[in-house]
Chains A and B, each alone.
Chain A
Amino acid sequence: MKLLEIKNINKSFLNKKVLDGINLEIESGEISSIFGYSGEGKSTMLKIICGILKQDRGDVILNAKNINNLESYERRTPLVMDEPLLFPNMNVIENIEFGLKLNLNKRNSINNIGKNKKLFYSPKEIMELLGITGLEKRYPSEISMGQAQRVSLARALIVNPDIILMDEPFSNLDIISKIKVRRLIKDINRELKISILLVTHDIEDVVNLSDKMFILNNGKIQDSGHPKEVLKKPSSIDTAFLLGTENILGGVISGIDPDNNLIKIKVKVRNENTEYIEYNKKADAGVIIEADFQGNFEIGEQVFLAVRPEEIIILREDRQASKPVRENRFSGKIISSIFTSRMMEISIKSEENLELKVLIPFHAYEVMHLFEGKTVNVSLKKSSIHLIKKKKTVKDSISP
């Protein structure tokens, strides 16, 4: 069931168009994310939904009711922001009960019948769920950031909304609180059947939490769908760049064979002198890469290839290669390896001058005795290669 519909929202600030015809649909009971860089109007979008800002044009429809003309206090779309923003003049329990007291009179008029949803949860129940029992009498200055953010969440939950809007709720939390709060948000969504619209610039939040993601770029929804699908198969080169897809190669289709589930691409290797990958018609030299068949391409068409760094396989010297790892094999040298918090990030330059980024677990890096300067064999699985049309405009990429 559609819970929230955003129709053709436009918003400008001082002649600068921030939102340009945004359309969104959010299903009941889901966690949806709006992903985009800072300053792309994500927060503006949320402020329009909850009524803090008025849109220039367009409609906000909640529960099949147009709420354009409702003030924010009438909308029941509580906001959770990057800071907890607790009321400093109230203690924790007073903060949590703030919305409850305001909504006391409206309780009976809220139509929740037949929704399999408890009318209102008591502050005690909510505090228990969020693990902040015992903090009732403390003041906001006396609790930690992680606890404060959970109180902020409780304060939003108490009004029993259909949807909670979250604006970068994790950005000020340390990594441990972040993981805790993330899990809590999942629990809330599942147990209280409250939908969540999350705005974030961190792709981890999106992948971790959401059932559906929207990519906001240049004031437009550029891509949408299940995060895994969007991440693996970005529909445009812009999306791929935005999502941090690191291995993007330019090429041209050189052969199509749907019967054998095969498509061949001639890839132009990275020129030392150009920073961007650009297919050059004059240069015929290139590497042929095979991929699983993907529809809608013709021979001679210019395309981009995207491969996620964790899908590239470094072959072990001591083992017989299985079938998939024999596909698209290259030999190359490790030119750099960086230890990130969880994985090793390795750059490999092949003999054909093809540069690839590979992510492998740290223990694998050790077991395989890898080091900078070592020559290794890598394989690009056919199934891991995703083709993107080169001349795809932003408008075309919005999936219907």
Chain B
Amino acid sequence: MPLNKNRIFDILVYIISFLFFATLILLLSGIFFQTSIHLFMKELKDAGLWNSIFLSFKLSFIVILINLIIGIPIAYVLSFKKSKISFLLDIISALPLTTSPLVIGFAVLITMGSLNPIGKFFIDNGIKFVFTPQGIVLVQLIISFPFFVNIVKTSFDSINRKMLDLSKTLGASSFDVLFKIIIPLSYNGIIAGLAMSWSRSIGEYAATQMISGVIPKITETAPIEVFVKTSYGNYPAAITIAGILMIISLFFLGIFKYFNYKIKTNV
């Protein structure tokens, strides 16, 4: 086969992509080279490890539940109530995407501290955010909800507006339109958004560590546990948790991609 320009082009793009994928896979799976199945299984029996993973699951589950409840109305406003300030709303809701998680954690830590009037108000009313699980939920919510809202908004955007107008003339109120048409048509987007925000929340470290105070069994989530174990030099334990976290991400990424493809092919 002659080596024309198009073939050279194909070969180049394939080589570059392959090199990138290979490097990435090696880097990530490299941690498994430093352990053995025996060590891995031994660490799996450690109760502390499961404690932290269970805590991460519990907190991130609460986070996506809250995401679902507040994210759909926010996505609705961003998608259907276009006005002069929607651009501003869009920026504000996407701000956590571009802000460093550490900064977000820091901001929440300061705001919710006892010296701050806002924090003082909450503390006086018996709600403590600093060094507590609810604090972790709060920061993870701030960090993960833009993912959910953006994906759901994209899904809402793809719904035919004329069809919605028409449904109103058939007697559908805004509630009917949301629950009977918009949400059923956005199932894929909502599931993709949940998967994305869940994996974001379960793997979140910087902001979580800021607000958690790293209290064993209470605020020590799995990613924090990885850091703590590493700093003690307990690599086998850190590798085990990191491996589990990686498998979880892979699983949820799979779900996200699957439903995301479905959004595109459905419309």
Contact = CB atoms under 8 A, between A and B. Distances in A.
Interface string B165-208: 11111111100100011001100000000000000000000000
Contact of B167 (A71, A83, A88, A98): A98
A76 interface: yes
Contacts of A306: none
Contacts of A50: 168-169
Contacts, number: 64
A165 interface: yes
Contacts of A47: 165
A51 B168 contact: yes
A159 B171 contact: yes
Contact of B171 (A73, A85, A165): A73
A332 interface: no
Contacts of A99: 170-172
B82 interface: no
Nearest to A46: B169
B160 A85 contact: yes
A79 interface: yes
B170 A155 contact: yes
Contacts of A81: 162, 166
Given A85-B160, A87-B181, A89-B184, A103 B171 contact: yes
Contacts of A85: 160, 162-163, 166
Given A79-B165, A83-B162, A102 B170 contact: yes
A72 B170 CA distance: 8
Nearest to A85: B163
B172 A102 contact: yes
A159 B138 CA distance: 47
A51 B169 contact: yes
The listed residue with most A CB atoms (<10 A of its CB), out of B167, B170, B184, is B170
Interface residues of A, number: 27
Interface in A64-84: 71-73, 75-79, 81, 83
Contacts of A103: 171
A334 interface: no
A179 interface: no
Given A52-B165, A102-B176, A89 B185 contact: yes
A106 B176 CA distance: 15
B170 A159 contact: yes
A378 interface: no
A225 B185 CA distance: 44
The listed residue with most A CB atoms (<10 A of its CB), out of B169, B176, B184, B185, is B169
Interface string B12-53: 000000000000000000000000000000000000000000
A51 B170 CA distance: 11
A156 interface: yes
Contacts of B185: 87-89
Given A83-B162, A87-B181, A52 B168 contact: yes
A102 B176 CA distance: 8
B163 A87 contact: yes
Contacts of A73: 168-173, 176
Nearest to A72: B168
Contact of B169 (A79, A87, A89, A106): A79
Contacts of B170: 73, 78, 98-99, 102, 155-156, 159
A51 B165 CA distance: 9
A240 to B, nearest CB: 34
Contact of A102 (B163, B166, B171): B171
Contacts of A98: 167, 170, 172, 180
Contacts of B181: 87, 89
Nearest to B177: A73
A156 B170 CA distance: 6
B180 to A, nearest CB: 8
Interface string A77-114: 11101010101110000000011001100100000000
A88 B184 CA distance: 10
Interface of B: 160, 162-163, 165-173, 176, 180-181, 184-185, 266
10 contacts: A47-B165, A50-B168, A52-B165, A72-B169, A73-B168, A73-B169, A78-B170, A89-B185, A159-B170, A165-B169
* Cβ-closest 9 pairs across A and B: A99-B170, A85-B163, A102-B171, A72-B168, A79-B169, A89-B184, A50-B169, A52-B165, A73-B173
